[in-house]
Amino acid sequence: VGGREGGREGKGDGGLRGKGRRDFPRGGGNIGINIIANITGITPSGPWMMGWIDEKQQHQEEDTRLYGGTVISSSLHRKTATNMAMDMQGGGHIPLLNFMQQPMLHGKQLVGSASTTNLGDVVESSLAPVEAFNSRSSYPPSVSGQHPTSVPVFSVHPSSAITPYAGYPVESGKQTFVQLEPHEAPVPICESQVISGLHHASPPQSSLHRQLHDAVPVSICVPENAAVAAPTKIDGHFAAALDLYNARGYSSALACCNTAHVLQPQRTDILLLMSAIHYQLHNFDQCILHTRQAIALKPDMAEAHSNLANALQKSGQLDLAIVHYRIAIHLKPVFTDAYNNLASALVQKGLTAQAIQCYNLALSIDPTLFVVWNNLGDLWRAQGPSGQQVAEHFYLQAIHHNKQYIPAWSGISELCREMQEYARALPCYKELLKLRAGDVETYFGMGHCYKELKQLGEAEKCYASVLNTHGPSAIALANLAGVYYEQGRLDLAIQTYREAIKLDASFPEVYNNLSNALREAGFLDEAVNCYMTCIRIQCALPLNATVFAELPPMYSAPSVHRLCVVFNNLGGVLKIQGRVQEAISCFQQVRTLQPESPEAHANLASAYKDCGKHDFALIEYRQALTLRPDFPDAFSNYVHSMQCICNWEDREQLFVRLEKVVRYSLASGTLPPVQPFHAMAYPFTEDLALEISKAYADHCKALALRMTVCEGGLWHPPREPLAEMERLKVAFVSSDFGNHPLSHLMGSVFGLMDKSKFEVFCYALSQDDKSEWRGKIQSEVEHFVDVSSWNASDIASQISRDGIHIAVNLNGYTKGAKNEIFALKPAPVQCLYMGFPATAGAEFMPYLITDKIVAPTHLHHCYSEKLALMPDCYFVNDYRQAHMDIANGECSVSRSDVGLPEDKIIFSCSNQLYKYDPETFAAWCKILKRVPNSVLWLLRFPPEGEANVRAEAAKAGISNDRIVFTNVAQKAMHIMRSGLADVFLDTPVCNAHTTGCDVLWSGCPMVTMPLRRMASRVAASLCYAVGCPEMVVDNHTEYEDLAVRLALDHAYRVSLRKKLEEKRLSSPLFDTKKWVTNLEKVFLKMWDIHAQGKDPQTFEV
């Protein structure tokens, strides 16, 4: 759930990755069970009986990837945990299918022969014409953790019935032969309780049915003389009872039998029929009583032993039932029903191999027993992927012997679906509809297959057919809503989920999936409430009970798993809202419920990471990787946490492995586990960094395609030059209008723009933090629109309605972003600026505003965008407006005030620790050795990194007292104290950006070494713009030499400081008004290119 968001300077980062889906903004790159896990596999009898697990979800035991996980997911919209399901991939949903629970078999692994019958041949040649589909030529091996797992479905398949009459001889009299048509037999008593597919049982072939169908005579004694009157009356009652039994009028049949039994209590055929009737009425004790009476009268009556075994099996007396099945077989070696039912009992005992022997013996007697072929198919199918090929063979054999046998068609349909061969499953489902028109389960199965094949229109028709045929149904509505969700019709999905809840207010899966839709639509508070309601329903908690307290015990693994899906989804949304402590509580619940789940530990680690508790995060990440070593998201976030606290243990090997993981993800078309913002500080090539950004841009675009916008698309202003007196409308979109570095830097920009030429809009993606920076921007800009509670499609529609010419993305891949807005293209010209110092890799972001120092010509290949090159420096600041008191010396602070020695050279670096790298730190240690009377002053950000930095310094021979750490301070204090240092040592891989402006405004010299990527060249641009290019070096040797010279050459250092102080009021770097004028030129040039009908192109002003 959730997704991943990159962090920013001065802000935390972290988040959940979503099943499925991964939305921006996301937090520091967590795992989420497919993002949102939507719950699937809902049944009328038990709404928590889930559907299947799809390829995007892990096996139920593995907890599937929750990070947005989606996770439960599917046709009730799952991408939840199991297809998620769970997608418990989500983003996910749960497909709602009408499944019953099915116990798994435990026993020897079975080995079977390859199928000799082709499913396509059976459909085409044995039945009326149906759609052709390709048969499978080979069975690929299953992928660990991704094989389809059927929801436990326990279907009773009656394969043979109790025998009410088995040709018991009557002394003399005229015999009448009665032959019943197929399927006229009553529902059999003997129900083969094996694992089976999702289908209703057709009228089974009972012993009675088969004997009558084969013309076994049913003897009716008719006395030849009038003296024999009693038998005629008894036989009449018996015949009437038999007719009523066959018509399923069991109560009336029992009355007739009772009358016959009173008249002649010694007749075993009457006792047998009575036992059959009691079985059908579930009076198993009476059934046992009458069969035992029949056995007492006729011990060698095999049918009585078989019927007794059936009743004993239903009563839970399996061992005794098996004894009587074997007696029946001993008495009647060709008694195929007894073999079949004995196999059923053996399956219940877990004796799978012996059960298969029984089925095979029955087939050796009669190879046409399609019921037995079908039961074998069910049994093999229950073995999972290893038995699927053999199961298909047996189902096809059953169909070969009875083209109309519904359970076999149902079994083969469900088998193909479980193997994710949805195109092969559909013709089978269509045959089922011919055999049982309007069947709900068949429509559900077809709907799921169409949904997986992305034929969402057909899936919609299937679920609509259920509603049209059978009336309102919570399950059908929920599945239909899942289709709307997949289509991106979120409003309709939300409405339909709510209709399902009206029909069943205690339907937890629907609450989960509704929450997912609300989350995606941007209604986060409602989503949180729905998730909590879902949890309360599952745990039977009072309406207003907290979900973070100790929960009542749960003993069902599926129930625990589904509950974890919802907690994961809830935690992801809470993270998006910044409610990190509550999110941690959610993930702690999951860890308690599923201590062996790697996702549980990874999600909790991500939440810890978000609030800066990297030591706790690393513990959880390590546990996740212990449980699943090949866990890309956990590994990626583990590496990032190590980077954040300067733990460089095995760093080189970790990054080699991480690069392989990223390249594998890119090659396989999956979202890389490394976020673009994190990649900025990694030792990756510019080409790899660009590919990562492109993958995230494609993900944003895919999310946008699911969103509903104005009918006919978003409107754009005409592609023509501005009319006289017409103003250019420019929109700035950001989640950082508040106490954030971006607002510290750009606070005056929006109000300084020329209102006679520009109409400026600010769209705030975050809530009002009541800070002075938010208030300043809101009061000075012409239009300030708080869209923090809006979804991306509504924001894009508003930008379109406002007639914006140029939309500026101030976030990029950073926390709080909604890049889907720009993927919807609400403005004809769109550009990236400031928030994300790297390429977006997005075709919907055609421009990047930068400068020639940051992006020289030989490095243009690092960017997917066309570059708008500003003069001087692209990086704006507001210090001349906001911090003149520091420049005028009105505010000051001493070294002793912040714990620094007065008599030593102070080297400083106030960058966050994640920007450090071993090579640069080794250079710092060399500098300290060359300048003995010096200390290194660092920022304790995050605090957990201090011990690691000191340990690295000790390894280099630097004593502990030469490393001074200080805490984070308020903005003004931070700028003032920056000037206390003698030399600022920049981090080359990812420079000081905002911090660089702070340092230069304070008058402190800096040493920086630009590399190739954008984030590594910003400080060089600052130095050039302030008029001090001498602070820029080309390699580590020059870096060390310049730092040492500034430390030891007092006159040189003083002259450079004086130069910086003078340049504060004259250099382009701090001339905000001039910078705004240049930005206006950039916007006018962009529109001019567009109005001329030209494609975006690189230019400079």
The pLDDT mean for the chain works out to 82
pTM above 0.85, yes or no: no
CB 303 within 8 A of CB 275: no
Secondary structure of 1014-1028 in HEC code, one letter for each residue? HHHCHHHHHHHHCCC
pLDDT digits (tens, 9 = 90+) for 472-511: 999 999 999 999 999 888 899 999 999 999 999 999 999 9
Average pLDDT in the 576-602 region?
95
Residue 437: HSE in the Cβ half-sphere, 13 Å Cα cutoff: 2
Average pLDDT in the 80-101 region?
28
Under the banding of pLDDT at 50, 70 and 90, the label for residue 1078 is very high
Residue with the bigger pLDDT between 51 and 1004: it is: 1004
Predicted confidence at residue 791, as pLDDT, reads: 87
pLDDT digits (tens, 9 = 90+) for 839-896: 999 999 999 999 999 999 999 999 999 999 999 999 999 999 999 999 988 888 999 9
pLDDT digits (tens, 9 = 90+) for 662-693: 999 999 999 999 999 999 999 999 999 999 99
Residue with the bigger pLDDT between 216 and 1099: it is: 1099
Predicted confidence at residue 204, as pLDDT, reads: 29
Rounded to an integer, what distance in angstroms lies between the CA atom of residue 318 and that of residue 90?
Answer: 43
Residues contacting residue 1012 through CB under 8 Å, at least 6 positions apart: 686, 859, 862
Under the banding of pLDDT at 50, 70 and 90, the label for residue 1007 is very high
Does the structure show a pLDDT above 90 at 215?
A: no
**Range name among 117-121, 251-255, 392-396, 411-415 with the lowest pLDDT average:** 117-121
Residue with the bigger pLDDT between 1081 and 184: it is: 1081
pLDDT digits (tens, 9 = 90+) for 941-989: 999 999 999 999 999 999 999 999 999 999 999 999 999 999 999 999 9
Under the banding of pLDDT at 50, 70 and 90, the label for residue 306 is very high
CB 344 within 8 A of CB 358: no
Residue 750: HSE in the Cβ half-sphere, 13 Å Cα cutoff: 31
User: Which residues are bridge partners to 218 per DSSP?
Assistant: 176
The separation between CA 920 and the C-alpha centre of its own chain, rounded to angstroms, equals: 39
pLDDT digits (tens, 9 = 90+) for 1014-1067: 999 999 999 999 999 999 999 999 999 999 999 999 999 999 999 999 999 999
Average pLDDT in the 638-663 region?
97
Average pLDDT in the 313-324 region?
95
Does the structure show a pLDDT above 60 at 38?
A: no
- C-alpha pair distances (Å), 1043 with each of 901, 1009, 1038, 1046: 19, 12, 8, 5
Rounded to an integer, what distance in angstroms lies between the CA atom of residue 35 and that of residue 661?
Answer: 20
Rounded to an integer, what distance in angstroms lies between the CA atom of residue 420 and that of residue 816?
Answer: 37
Average pLDDT in the 286-296 region?
95
Locate 671 and state its tokens: 């979202």
Rounded to an integer, what distance in angstroms lies between the CA atom of residue 78 and that of residue 482?
Answer: 7
**Residue 725, class by beta-carbon neighbours within 10 Å (0-12 exposed, 13-18 middle, 19+ buried)?**
exposed
Give the other-Cβ count within 10 Å of 266's Cβ.
Answer: 11
Does the structure show a pLDDT above 70 at 54?
A: no
Predicted confidence at residue 99, as pLDDT, reads: 25
Average pLDDT in the 626-652 region?
97
| Identity of the amino acid at 887 | A
**Range name among 655-664, 788-797, 1080-1089 with the lowest pLDDT average:** 788-797
Spell 706-721 as b/e; 16+ CB within 10 A means b: bbbbeeeebebbeeee
Average pLDDT in the 456-483 region?
96
pLDDT digits (tens, 9 = 90+) for 151-195: 222 222 333 333 332 222 222 222 222 222 222 222 222 222 222
Average pLDDT in the 261-269 region?
92
Does the structure show a pLDDT above 60 at 22?
A: no
- Of 15-24, 231-240, 511-520, highest mean pLDDT: 511-520
**Range name among 11-15, 495-499, 542-546, 787-791 with the lowest pLDDT average:** 11-15
Residues contacting residue 793 through CB under 8 Å, at least 6 positions apart: 490, 707, 708, 709, 820, 824
| Phi, psi dihedral angles at 54 (to 5 degrees) | -95, 180
- Of 546-555, 707-716, 1051-1060, highest mean pLDDT: 1051-1060
Does the structure show a pLDDT above 70 at 557?
A: yes
**Range name among 36-45, 107-116, 444-453, 611-620 with the lowest pLDDT average:** 107-116
User: Which residues are bridge partners to 807 per DSSP?
Assistant: 731, 830
- Of 6-10, 100-104, 861-865, highest mean pLDDT: 861-865
* Strand ordering across the sheet containing 963-966: 963-966, 934-939, 905-909, 983-985, 1006-1007
Predicted confidence at residue 669, as pLDDT, reads: 95
User: Nearest to residue 198, comparing CAs of 159, 158, 150?
Assistant: 150
CB 199 within 8 A of CB 98: no
Strand (E) or helix (H) holding 482: helix 474-486
Rounded to an integer, what distance in angstroms lies between the CA atom of residue 381 and that of residue 152?
Answer: 12
Does the structure show a pLDDT above 90 at 928?
A: yes
User: Which residues are bridge partners to 906 per DSSP?
Assistant: 935
| Identity of the amino acid at 424 | R
CB 601 within 8 A of CB 609: no
Name the DSSP letter for residue 82. S
